[in-house]
Structure 1
Amino acid sequence: MDVNKSERAVTLKDIAEASGVSISTVSRILDDRYPPSQTENAVRVRRIAEQLGYRRNVYASGLRRRESGLIGVLVPRLTDAVMSLMFEAIERAARSRGMFAIVSTCGDDADSQAEVVESLLDRNVDGIILATARVDDAIPERLRQRRLPHVLVLRSDNASPTVTGDDVLGGYLAARHLIDLGHTNIAVVTGPTFTSSAHGRVNGARRALTEASLDLPNDNIIFTGYGIEAGEDAAKELLNRENRPTAIFAANDNLAIGVAHYAAQLDIKLGPDLSIVGYNDIPLVEKLSVPLTSVRVPFDHIAEKAVDMLREENPHSATTSFIPTLIPRKSTARPRGKS
């Protein structure tokens, strides 16, 4: 058979005839669920398939295995840089494993989340990755009851399979950095009370302060949203006090940007007058006029583990945590008056 690209769709039979092997042999060699064989025969079959212009029919092969090759990803919103970074990492991890990730947004409304999950399931996704798990979210429990494959990322409900950064350690590293610079009056601005990440980062900061024999008064902890405006509002409360903090750990980079923006309105200089640590280390923060110290979260490692866990036949329910890293920049410095 002449090995030329045809105008019609190339089939396994075409490749088998060109290669002189059986259709089942071609199917096995081209099945990307397994590591590619490097035998002479396998290399020749893959080369002929490429020359013929063969494209694997993911949908048809999925039907045969009762798989679609699709992963559903649920995020609150894609305008949040962290959610965008997380989805992009999941999409890369899925694609490298011969799968395809589709994303849906649902905001923070429980009914909307449930509706979007059902919509993804109606599209025959093989499983769902949830970046929306609230501590009071009923969706993971429903998925567990229906034995539907799912993995939580960045947040935990202490029951479903979960992959996250170590929020407690991240909060500890942020506060420890500020303590080591000589700060004693430290405040924490964190996310909504319904998120495990908000509580974990506060708990880590509190642990670091306790170890240093420092207090973290309740009025120095502000639970709010994860947006820039929420950071501005928190800064208004903290920076207009007579005994304002000399350092703020903002448990999200957007919060940190909001705090920094309001501080600039008061002519408070980042570093010397007010140290700020953010969280997640989104690409923007190192480009700011005063580059932001931030706790870096390994999104790619989290995504790869989540996709692999989703593909397991019986995924365990334990939480896998990856170690975050503190990235110091100019937004943190020793407080004035301390050498």
Structure 2
Amino acid sequence: MEQALPAAIVTLKDVAAASGVSISTASRALDERTTSRSAAAAHVRKIAEELGYRRNSFASSLRRGETRTLGVLVPRLSDTVMALMFEELEKAASSRGYFAMVATSGDDPVDERRAAETLLDRNVDGLILATARLDDELPRLLRERRVAHALVLRTDGISPSALGDDEVGGYLATRHLIDLGHRNIAVVTGPAFTSTGTARLAGARKALHEAGIQPREEWLIAAGYGIENGYTAGETLLAGTPQSRPTAIFAANDNIAMGVMAAAHRHGVSIPDHLALVGYNDTPLSARLPTPLTSVHVPLDQIAATAIDLIVNPGTEPLIRRAMPTLIPRQSSGTPQRTGT
């Protein structure tokens, strides 16, 4: 049986000859970074497609001293927000002619450093860090080594950062509960070592202070961002008598809020009849829970685009950019209270 010969590789020279243009003109027409809309360029691209030409973008990038790849470092992809964030980063990178690759690091700074070095060993053009610790040394090390990088969904106040305005978000969530008539309000934040946790708590405190409400310190709980952390916090807040419980809780992410819901169910506390609840991040599940969750929406697509631009267009100001969050009211926060309790 006669074996089929492999198809001949179509070169840029072949495309140029078939298009009736020079090699340099064909190269410019096919460069994904500067896609021309001229009739001549469209003709070259049409011929290239018909011939089956495939541009070696990797080789072209290497000749320019770049790989057109970006490394994204996240604690874990099992976290809904981190997974959604990476999807948006990948889309934003692709629209700018870059490829995004992800590595997970957990919460250990040593593991984070190791994961970052793994990405840098692959000659990425920059790093995007979604890891959360305020005491993280990695951004400082990257600045010292002049490695292009951006922080996403958090900031250390120095490195280029793209995030939501977490203080405004915490204020909006707590102000919503106050406007509904609640004064016995608890706040379950993320870990104290995160800029998101501290900023959302600061926003909540600001709203409480404006309303003349002195929060009970035992009702301000710093927890992790997992459902189990919310459940534990809910157990602490709801285990007492109805008179000793808060009537409203602001949970600093939707996972925490779902954990609080589970604890409330165990203690026979009805949401929203006996407890108003607000989450944060407006994850897709929040609107589809048996009791749809009021949540603070964060524009992840806008944040992702900003993070990519901070790397591919270095030196642009400001280096720290905050996107504005929006409160999305749903059933879990209930209706205005008839009394001030």
When normalised by structure 2's length, the TM-score is 0.95
CA root-mean-square deviation:
1.5
What is the CA–CA distance in structure 2 between the aligned matches of 1:81 and 1:273, rounded to whole Å?
28
Deviations 1:24-79 (CA, angstroms, capped at 9, x unpaired): 11111211222x22222111111111222222212101111111111100000000
Alignment of 1:78-117 (within 5 A): 78-117=77-116
Structure 1, 184-193 or 38-47: larger mean CA deviation: 38-47
**How much has 1:317 moved relative to structure 2?**
6.5
* Number of the residue aligned with 1:326: 327
1:72, 1:125 within 8 Å by CA — same for their partners in 2?
Answer: yes
* Number of the residue aligned with 2:3: none
Deviations 1:192-233 (CA, angstroms, capped at 9, x unpaired): 111000000000011111111112232111111000000000
Secondary structure in 2 matching 1:33:
helix
1:27 aligns with 2:27: yes
Secondary structure in 2 matching 1:148:
coil
- Provide the identity percentage: 55
* Number of the residue aligned with 2:218: 219
Secondary structure in 2 matching 1:132:
coil
| Structure 1, unpaired ranges of 5+ | 1-5
| Structure 2, unpaired ranges of 5+ | 1-5
* Number of the residue aligned with 1:12: 12
Equivalent pairs counted in the alignment come to 333
**How much has 1:334 moved relative to structure 2?**
3.6
* Number of the residue aligned with 1:140: 139
* Number of the residue aligned with 1:53: 52
Secondary structure in 2 matching 1:331:
helix
What is the CA–CA distance in structure 1 between the aligned matches of 2:148 and 2:26, rounded to whole Å?
30
Deviations 1:281-308 (CA, angstroms, capped at 9, x unpaired): 1101111100000001100000011111
1:291, 1:330 within 8 Å by CA — same for their partners in 2?
Answer: yes
1:246, 1:335 within 8 Å by CA — same for their partners in 2?
Answer: no
AA at the equivalent of 1:253: D
What is the CA–CA distance in structure 2 between the aligned matches of 1:278 and 1:57, rounded to whole Å?
46
1:292, 1:330 within 8 Å by CA — same for their partners in 2?
Answer: yes
2:239, 2:267 within 8 Å by CA — same for their partners in 1?
Answer: no
1:162 aligns with 2:161: yes
What is the CA–CA distance in structure 2 between the aligned matches of 1:9 and 1:280, rounded to whole Å?
49
Structure 1, 20-29 or 122-131: larger mean CA deviation: 20-29
What is the CA–CA distance in structure 1 between the aligned matches of 2:8 and 2:300, rounded to whole Å?
41
AA at the equivalent of 2:25: T
AA at the equivalent of 1:295: V
**How much has 1:335 moved relative to structure 2?**
6.5
Alignment of 1:201-216 (within 5 A): 201-216=200-215
**How much has 1:114 moved relative to structure 2?**
0.3
What is the CA–CA distance in structure 1 between the aligned matches of 2:317 and 2:110, rounded to whole Å?
27
What is the CA–CA distance in structure 1 between the aligned matches of 2:132 and 2:292, rounded to whole Å?
31
What is the CA–CA distance in structure 2 between the aligned matches of 1:329 and 1:147, rounded to whole Å?
46
Secondary structure in 2 matching 1:219:
helix
* Number of the residue aligned with 1:288: 289
